[in-house]
Amino acid sequence: MSERTGGRLSRRAVITAAAATAGVAATGGALAATQRDGAPPRPSGTVPFHGAHQAGIATPQQQYAFFAAFDLESTDPVKGERLTPAQAAANFQRLMGWWTIAAERITQGHAPGPRPGGRPDVPPDSGIADGLEPSRLTITFGLGPGLFARIGQERQRPRRLEPLPAFRTDRLEAAWSGGELLVQICGDDLQTISRAFRTLRSRAPGVARLRWTQQGFLGRFGDATPRNLFGHKDGTANPRPGDAKFDRAVWSDGADEPAWFSGGTYLVFRKIRMDLPKWDTSSTRTQDETIGRRRDNGAPLSGGHEFSAPDLGKAAPHGGLLVPADSHLALVRNVPMLRRSYNYDYGFQANSQPVADHHDTPGEDHDHGQDMPKHSGGGHAAYDAGTLFCAYLRDPAEFVRVQHKLAESDRLNAFIRHTGSAVFAMPPGARPGKHVAAGLLPS
């Protein structure tokens, strides 16, 4: 939820520029570019899989996203023996090969191809997307910090890939954090996304195990900047794909990174839970001064319109500053990153219990309209909704720098809690016939 100022172009111009430059200028790209222009997305949209960069980052943002983190298996599933780094590397390479083939096929509207080890009498695909268009499906892969030692490739680890430090306000849960491999699936049809994940997951048994999944959505805002669950426009000040500024902020040029990583980027992923009842019962003034912008039109409190640069020194008529120094906007200016976040609303997250064990008496056990349970861990008392914050950037240290500042003084801290966290290196795009991250291992 950081902000970046200076963009005066409309979101429409931004999206069009993105499509023209981000390797999606073919049929699918042109289509995708027009899809944000007020009209609902066309289900037939296809985003090319191959290119200098992976799709799903600079390509136009779809309505829905599914994120899944996996860890490589550490032991041989048959013999039970610990895998050597060379064995783990072979597993990794096999999995990336399977995943790449499946991803390039289903994003282009084809069947995923045979399941490795699949019996001939078993259908190779779940069939749940039979008759559905790809709906701008993209599948994007990431590599976590722990992967490289595991596969004996510490020397090839992208230099800026480190576990994030602890931040003062973090309330992280292991169940939503970390991971050696990331699969990011975006599209405009939840069923094609569900099918895509199921296809990839079916390649994992014996090689990798699921660690966590997250699912997000955007409203159908068309040409306008999407609103987050605090009702504020989120993403107003993103850099514009196609600008040199965008490229400098997002893509690694390999100058001081391993050569295989050129054209890659990093993803900082944060599950940020929102206390919606607390927010909804706060005054308009509190809400807007917390963000530093007007909710209704997205303009900075210093005046102008959504795309106006904020004037952080402008005095309020009755003293103080129009944009408070500890507002979110004032603290997060000029961070070189692309935000491509999604809202999430998981509803009421009961801890499932068999009927017989459940004490069905009214009491502490139920929802009282506050979304932040007193005990971390949440569960039965909690309604879980918020933001899946996704920042793509050349240097995660930029996120770390700002997040320390935010943890120290952001007014938003009264309304949010970071409950999940992960960082991944996002390899460059695959070339036809090669798998994603093929450059990492000798072939």
Nearest-10 Cα torsion for 319, 325, 326, 330: 140
Burial class (CB in 10 A: 0-12, 13-18, 19+), 169: middle
Q: Which is nearer to a second copy, 36 or 160 (CB)?
A: 36
Smaller CB separation from a second copy, 353 or 409 = 353
Q: Which residues of 129-158 are buried (b: 16+ CB within 10 A; e: fewer)?
A: beeebbbbbbbbbbbbbbbbebbebeebbb
Place of tokens 């699912």: 215
Q: How far, CA to CA in Å, does 132 sit from each of 121, 224, 280, 284?
A: 24, 27, 38, 43
The minimum distance between CB 441 and a second copy, in angstroms, equals 23
Residue list 210-239, contact with a second copy (CB under 8 A): 210-215, 217-221, 224, 227-232
Rounded Cα–Cα distance for residues 105 and 94 (Å): 17
Q: Are 70 and 183 in contact (CB under 8 A)?
A: yes
Q: What is the DSSP letter of 438?
A: G
User: Binding segment for a second copy among 126-134, 302-310, 316-324, 400-408 (CB under 8 A)?
Assistant: 126-134
CB of 351 to a second copy, least distance (A): 6
Q: How far is the CB of 142 from a second copy (least distance, A)?
A: 17
User: Among 6, 9, 40, 304, which residue sits at the site for a second copy (rule: CB under 8 A)?
Assistant: 40
Contact 407, 129 (CB under 8 A): no
Q: Considering the rule CB under 8 A, would residue 287 count as an interface residue with a second copy?
A: yes
Convert residues 63-82 into a mask of x (bound to a second copy by CB under 8 A) and - (unbound).
xx-x-x--x-xxx-------
- The answer to whether residue 127 forms part of the interface with a second copy (CB under 8 A) is yes
Among 182, 204, 237, 272, binds a second copy (CB under 8 A): 204
- Contacts (CB under 8 A) with a second copy, residues 333-392: 343, 345-355, 357-358, 360, 362, 366-369, 376-380, 383, 385
Please give the Cα distance from 407 to 421 (Å, whole number): 14
CB-wise, 66 or 266, nearer to a second copy? 66
Instruction: Write down the least CB distance from residue 439 to a second copy, Å.
Output: 28
135 binds a second copy (CB under 8 A): yes
- Residue 172 found at the interface with a second copy (CB under 8 A): yes
